[in-house]
């Protein structure tokens, strides 16, 4: 599987130094420009050393600057968005079905590339050692939160979730330092969800975020941030792909937890 340059940058953004964030912002804002520039030109534009740009390339998984440029060029010049752009009311059921499946597969592949397994382990540890786990999400994410609550329960975790924002706010206020909250928000900047997170912080509970944007307020204000990497189908504009990725992330957490619980039971 080819390494996704933009996805890797978004996934690792919170861990970058200030200079690395300058490079990351430069690439994310001008991906078409950077593929035509040399490492010296990029360094001059940002007023940093060539070596810093080279080390950044290696930091996100490439052998060097040139390898990163090749991957980036492939991402933005290959018709990655063909599925999205070609979706049309004129498509028949076979064509639309194929486009949806291919698009969802790509979303899962892109998300898998940016999974930080150390953060996955941290999230699992938070959940396993929590007195109780509360899952939060508003609007479309509320459905995903309820799905997570159900799966966590089947994995042996004492969990709960509420659809209504009012009940979520009330539940958040009753968390303690012994609890863990999972916050689901594709944008990572939903105002209602941010209000919930603010209340959770006041309780001292541990926080896990599942979002699609590393620079979002929620991503930057949780203890563990897990990211999805999606290319939404604008024609439908209902967040299908982000939900597929979120559900898969939750499934991975729950399966790991269920497996660890089974191992612990067998060793007693």
What percent of the chain shows pLDDT beyond 70? 91
Q: What CATH code would you report for 5-77?
A: 1.10.10.10
Average pLDDT over residues 150-170: 94
- Edge-to-edge strands of the sheet including 180-184? 159-161, 133-136, 180-184, 206-211, 224-227
Q: Which of 17-26, 127-136, 234-243 is predicted least confidently?
A: 234-243
Q: Residue 228 above 80 pLDDT? A: yes
Q: Give the CATH class of 117-266.
A: alpha beta
Give the C-alpha separation, 204 to 40, whole Å. Answer: 46
Fold agreement (5-77, 117-266): no
**Structure confidence by residue, pLDDT tens digits, 22-40:** 999 999 888 888 888 899 9
∠ CA 250-256-257, rounded to 5° = 90
Q: What is the DSSP string of 18-82?
A: HHHHHHHHHHHH-HHHHTTS-HHHHHHHHTS-HHHHHHHHHHTT-SSHHHHHHHHHHHHHS-TTH
Give the C-alpha separation, 187 to 55, whole Å. Answer: 30
Per the prediction, the chain carries an average pLDDT of 86
Average pLDDT over residues 169-180: 96
**Smallest Cα–Cα separation from 34: which of 81, 79, 68?**
68
Per-residue confidence (pLDDT) for residue 153, from 0 to 100: 93
Per-residue confidence (pLDDT) for residue 140, from 0 to 100: 86
* Domain coordinates in residue numbering, the chain: 5-77, 117-266
230 vs 187, residue with greater confidence: 187
Asked whether the beta carbons of 30 and 69 are under 8 A apart, the reply is no
Per-residue confidence (pLDDT) for residue 133, from 0 to 100: 97
Band (pLDDT 50/70/90 cuts) for residue 213 is confident
Task: Provide the 3-class DSSP secondary structure of residue 233.
Answer: coil
């Amino acid at each position: 599987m080819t390494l996704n340059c933009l996805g890797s940058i978004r996934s690792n953004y919170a861990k970058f130094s200030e200079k690395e964030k300058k490079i990351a912002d430069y690439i994310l804002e001008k991906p078409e420009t950077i593929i035509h520039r040399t490492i010296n030109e990029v360094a001059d534009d940002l007023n940093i050393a060539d070596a810093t740009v080279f080390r950044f390339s290696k930091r996100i998984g490439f052998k060097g600057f040139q390898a990163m440029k090749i991957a980036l060029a492939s991402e933005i010049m290959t018709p990655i968005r063909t599925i999205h752009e070609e979706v049309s009311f004129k498509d028949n059921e076979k064509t639309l079905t194929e486009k949806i499946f291919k698009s969802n597969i790509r979303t899962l592949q892109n998300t898998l590339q940016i999974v930080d397994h150390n953060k996955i382990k941290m999230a699992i540890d938070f959940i396993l050692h929590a007195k109780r786990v509360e899952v939060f999400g508003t609007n479309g994410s509320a459905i995903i939160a309820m799905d997570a609550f159900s799966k966590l329960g089947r994995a042996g975790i004492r969990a709960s979730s509420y659809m209504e924002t009012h009940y979520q706010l009330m539940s958040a206020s009753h968390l303690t330092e012994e609890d863990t909250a999972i916050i689901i928000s594709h944008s990572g900047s939903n105002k209602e969800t941010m209000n919930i997170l603010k209340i959770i912080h006041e309780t001292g509970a541990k926080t896990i975020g599942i979002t699609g944007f590393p620079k979002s307020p929620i991503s930057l204000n949780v203890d563990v941030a897990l990211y999805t990497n999606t290319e939404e189908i604008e024609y439908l504009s209902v967040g299908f792909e982000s939900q597929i990725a979120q559900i898969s992330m939750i499934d991975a957490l729950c399966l790991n937890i269920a497996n660890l619980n089974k191992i612990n039971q067998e060793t007693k």
